[in-house]
Structures are given as C-alpha cells and as structure tokens.
Amino acid sequence: MSKRSVIMCACTVVLLVYLAFATAATGSMARRAPVGKVRIQVEDTLRTGFITSDDIAREFAPGAVSGAPRCSVDLRKMETQLRASDKIERANVAMLADGSLAIDVVPMVPVARVFESRGHRSYYINADGKRIGAEARFHIDVPVVCGTFSETLPPARLLPLLSHIAADPQLDALVSTIVSEPDGDIIIVPAMRGHVVNFGDTADVSDKFARLQRFYRTIPDVRGWDSYDTISVKWRGQVVATKRAGRLRPVQLAVREEEFIDADNETVNGNDPNSPDNGIIPDDAYSN
C-alpha cells in the first residue's frame, strides 16, 4: 500500500470518528434544547366547530411544555391523553426539526344530542353510536333525540333514520325532535306543530318518508292541519291518521337542557330526576 493510500485511509477514519462524535453531540444538544412553539391543528373538515384548538389548549394544556427540554417531553403520553378524550377521534403529536411541537387532532363528529328521560342524562352520539359527553363549552346544532333507552333499544338504533334526515334538506327542516318510546316506537315531532308522526322502527325509512310526504301534499289541504293528532306510517304501505279528539297525547320532551347531566355524572345542582319538576313535560303545548 502506498503512502498516499495510508494517508487517505487515516483521513477517512478520522472523518468518520468526527462525524460520529458530532452527530452524537448535536443529538444531545437537540434533546437538551428547549421546546419551541406549540402548534395545534384541528382537522375539522366538516367545519362543525364542535371542538377547537383553544379547547385542546385549555383541556390538555400542551403549551406548558413550551421552553422545557425536548428530552423531557413524552410524546406518546401526550397522544394517549388526547386519544382518551371522548371528543377526539384521532391524535398525533410530533417534535419538528425546528423544535416546535405539532399536535394534529381529528375530532369526533356528533350527529345527535340525546336526552334520556330515565336517569336524566344528556350526551351526544357520533355516526358509530359512540357517546360524547355534553358540556357547555362543547356545543353543536344537531337533531335532538329523547325518550327511554335501554341495551335492547339504544340511541344508536336511530342512526339510519338520522342519516336519512341529514341527507335531505327538506326532511331536516321538517323534523324537530325524535322521541323513543318504551315500546320501541319512534315518534317524530315535526316543525309543523299540532300533530306527531308514529314512525314505528327504522325499517323502510325512505318508503315511510315518501308516504308521509304524499300525505302532507294532499290531506291537510282538504281536511286542514288541525284534523289529526297522530299520523302513523309504521305499517307497510299504509298511512293511518288519527282524528283529533281534544288535546294532543303527551310526548316526553326535554325542555330545560341545563337540568340534564352528562352521562358520566350522578347528579347536578341537587336535582332529583324523579321529582315532578325534572325538565320533562308533556308535549300538549303543541296542541292548539
């Protein structure tokens, strides 16, 4: 081996050692360097505004790590805390090359607000039927569902109906409230007050609404809107209208949201859900 080759090999070894040392030193310095800005991005593609970056900052206080050594920040723990929230679908936390902390969040999207007459509870549900706690600072305008629910008759069974209504602007404007009765019947309270619609179950949703809309286009113009108190489309191929015989039969509706509690609490303001003044009143106010 020539002298020149020996010198080149020696230089290469020295350079590799220097690079290894410099890389380790740089990495160590980077880990000890303070965290820069904290960037929170909520991927609210539907623009619901249900949860915002300010909400994330208040609830999880990620800004507290700003200025702390980067090596002290547990990114996995932060992700776990975010994903544990019932208002967050997915979360990703990463330290960027410039030292800033990036938090990307995909929120849950509520499709209905549920008021349970049994247990006096209130919460949201998403399109998968997952419960989302109802709090004053998290609010979105979605259809109201109330009544009696159980393991065999959960709020999630109404999702096909809610999805169909949300996809049709006319139906969305027509439906005011959806009530689940103890016997399983679904009662729709329309925006046109004075009657209710017994929808039965969620089978043949399109056909039932088609029959209901045909009824609305014909009968009321002949008989008048005050002629019937209940319109039933629960039986296949039929529309059964019950003539009004006085006041409209009671339908349990939530009317004072502040008296309800979210599903994770036991009581609120000492209210007793079994007391007469429990935020549930008959819907005979809809009668003329």
Structure-token pair, residue 166? 């949300």
Q: Does the pLDDT value for residue 65 go beyond 90?
A: no
Render pLDDT for 25-44 as a digit per residue (tens, 0 to 9): 444 444 557 777 888 889 88
The average confidence (pLDDT) of the chain is: 75
Three-state secondary-structure class, residue 215: helix
Q: H or E segment at 179?
A: strand 175-180
Alpha-carbon distance 37 to 58, whole Å? 16
200: left (phi over 0), alpha (psi -120 to 50) or beta: left
pLDDT tens digits for range 208-258: 999 988 888 887 666 666 678 888 999 988 888 888 765 555 554 544 455
Q: What is the CATH number of domain 110-286?
A: 3.40.50.11690
Is residue 18 exposed (0-12), middle (13-18) or buried (19+ Cβ within 10 Å)? exposed
Q: Measured on CA atoms in the order 263, 266, 269, 271, is the torsion positive or negative?
A: positive
Token pair for 255: 């009317």
pTM: 0.65
- Residue 255 is predicted with a pLDDT of 44
The domain ranges of the chain are 38-107, 110-286
